Structure 1
């Protein structure tokens, strides 16, 4: 286990802006309260229009 931790210690994953926002929106509800207070988001609903052909 220690060898795996040492090997992965500096492993970094880079995300695009789109990926970052997708992860933020997906996991926002699971963040600790202090993080949610620092990143105040509100859920909103809207009616989708018909798709153009």
Structure 2
């Protein structure tokens, strides 16, 4: 059985195309937003822990 991320290397070269620019920008924005949310949640947890 193959690992899921190993299957992309077995595809032919013509199928291994780059992502469109709009999709890449959307993924970067989503990743940045998730990072901001993670930091905000961590700060809220720290503040709640200190208050109690």
Taking structure 2 as the reference length, the TM-score comes to: 0.32
The structure number with the bigger radius of gyration is 2
Taking structure 1 as the reference length, the TM-score comes to: 0.32
| Greater fraction helix | 2
